[in-house]
Amino acid sequence: MFNEIETKRLVGRLQILSLALLLILVYSCTKNELIYNTAIKDKFVVCDSLDLSKGKIHFSANVYNSSTRSAEVTDPIPTGRLTTIYAYTISENSFFSSSVKYISKLKGHLTPITHPMVLYYGSYALYAVSINAPNVAVPEFVDGFASDIQNGIDYLWAGVWNVDIAHSTDTVNLDFNHCYTQIQVDLVVEDTISVKSVASVMLTPPYIGGVKWDLFNSGAIGPTDSINADKNAMVNMPFKKTAFGFRSSYVMVPISVEEAVYFTCVFEIIIDDEIYNRTYSVNLPVFDNDMKAGYAYKYNLTLQRDTVLYSGVDVVDWNIIDVNGSPLIPDEVN
């Protein structure tokens, strides 16, 4: 007969064996402590059990570029975008997750960098994060948050819930939203002058200290509530010549304020036959005290010989940029 010590040892060995079998069953999935956060747990799919059959997942991807959302129109995700996709499911007693990295080698399609996402049959919540620029790595998320967040980067997020994996091969479509807001500056040159060259367009950006990227809350970043007025913190706004003058654009953390707050936009421009830059400065109000994620705001300016005039702001579609960060003119976007 087993004595008490031997019995405890046997029970311990059986517990270890059971744990090992459980780890084998869930393939590469790992337990995530987020299960203890009920606010987050409610966002996941609850399953009684997982089928032991497995399905390989293919992904297509699009991006919402319409601010007005009057029509649910998306554009295929451009090539070269790195993406991380997370899959979550909660069984009755356990919580499992998996993540795989992808790249858009073809427009609108995601290709696994090392291996595809393979999931046991069941129901999942899928979250995807990407950067809308070629070959820029996505920040790492810890407990559902990424903290290495900066202005000037077009963060993308997509979420799909109750995804049923029931075939050896399934295709899931991801519709990405912009997590930041975009400011556009259209500078019309008055007929009485000509622009010889533009040295720079600078902007005082929103303050971003302490802002995090929330994986589970619709990819929310911010908003912040202030402008970084430090002249040394001004950021460069890439610009491009247009038929009417120049267009600049910049993506930044959403901003919501209780009273009027202004960006400062500074232009360094040589006009006519002059040889030195002229410095033009103009204050631009935060639109309606609330510049939202996924929305683009076009500020209309006119360059005169001695000043820049501000004439209003419009809510417009997202301004797509080229590989150098410069805004594309509509007829160039293909």
Question: What is the residue extent of each domain of the chain?
Answer: 18-178, 181-332
Q: pLDDT category, 65, cuts 50, 70, 90?
A: confident
Question: What is the predicted pLDDT for the residue at 127?
Answer: 96
Question: What is the predicted pLDDT for the residue at 23?
Answer: 36
- Collapsing DSSP to helix, strand or coil, 72 comes out as coil
CATH 3.20.20.70 fits 181-332, yes or no: no
Task: Identify whether the C-beta of residue 85 lies closer than 8 Å to the C-beta of residue 100.
Answer: yes
- The pLDDT of 55-77, averaged and rounded, is 81
Q: Which residues pair with 131 in a beta bridge?
A: 155
Distance from C-alpha of 15 to C-alpha of 9, rounded to nearest angstrom: 10
The CATH number that domain 18-178 falls under is: 2.60.40.2620
- 181-332 matches 18-178 in CATH topology: yes
- The pLDDT of 28-34, averaged and rounded, is 32
Answer yes or no: is pLDDT of 94 > 80: no
Residue 170, Cβ density class (10 Å: 0-12 exposed, 13-18 middle, ≥19 buried): middle
- Collapsing DSSP to helix, strand or coil, 109 comes out as strand
How confident is the model over 265-279, as pLDDT tens digits? Answer: 999 999 999 999 999
Q: What is the share, in percent, of the chain residues with pLDDT greater than 70?
A: 76
Q: pLDDT category, 167, cuts 50, 70, 90?
A: confident
